Amino acid sequence: GASRLVSGTMTIHRRLERRLATFEGSEACVLFGSGYLANAGAIAALAGRGDTVFSDELNHASIVDGCRLSRAEVVVYRHRDIDHLDWLMCHHSGGVHDIGHGGRRLIVTDAVFSMDGDIAPLTEIVGLAHKHGARTIVDEAHAVGALGPDGRGAVAQAGLEGEVDIVIGTLGKALGSYGAYACASEEMVRYLINTARPLIFSTAPPPPAIAGALAALEIGRASCRERV
């Protein structure tokens, strides 16, 4: 009946958020109305004027639009090309600021690219983020339920739980429902709750869809164990 910050949050939302945080190996989780809203909200929360976002050229449209909405400088690197990304990060100073003088940096990528089906080199991307002092957002929409232990996605498959600043996932692919989520540290999730405009100004996801996702999450995890 209302946005999450007014009266839209119910017990079942909290329950799914706790389950998803455990599932993704993160401290906390917050639900969004859709994957588009989650990407737009998370990117704009971590980058703005004077900052730089580095984005794979084949990223999903929701990431592309999130980069535009952030009003940050957007630098597009060649698909899965780590050397090109490294070069670009060495030659772009972070918007209007010099390196080390306030301009934040963000790398954002799909985990599994929807049209090609290939996987981002996440280990190398996280390494570059550490090297250049950047944050990372990984969209696991097409990886959850398909990759990793218990179907937890490409980040888990690469052994990078806790190394990515925000993991975005959808309830509308393998989980067969509707909505999305962002998993991160407790501090980061609190920050998203209070700064991500698509969360603040959108109606909460409907409880029946959340209940369906809860059930699908358990079915999916059991199915992945059976395949192993």
Q: Can 114 be counted among the known catalytic residues?
A: yes
List the catalytic residue out of 93, 114, 185, 223.
Answer: 114
List the catalytic residue out of 173, 177, 185, 202.
Answer: 173
The answer to whether residues 154 and 138 touch, using CB atoms and an 8 Å cutoff, is: yes
**CA 156/CA 148 separation, integer angstroms:** 6
**CA 221/CA 139 separation, integer angstroms:** 19
- Report in angstroms the alpha-carbon separations of 197 from 10, 155, 187: 20, 26, 17
**CA 34/CA 89 separation, integer angstroms:** 30
Q: Can 185 be counted among the known catalytic residues?
A: no
* The dihedral sign for the CA sequence 83, 86, 90, 95: positive
List the catalytic residue out of 142, 177, 202, 223.
Answer: 142
Q: If 0-12 CB within 10 Å is exposed, 13-18 middle and 19+ buried, where does residue 161 land?
A: middle
Q: Can 131 be counted among the known catalytic residues?
A: no
Active site residues: 114, 142, 173
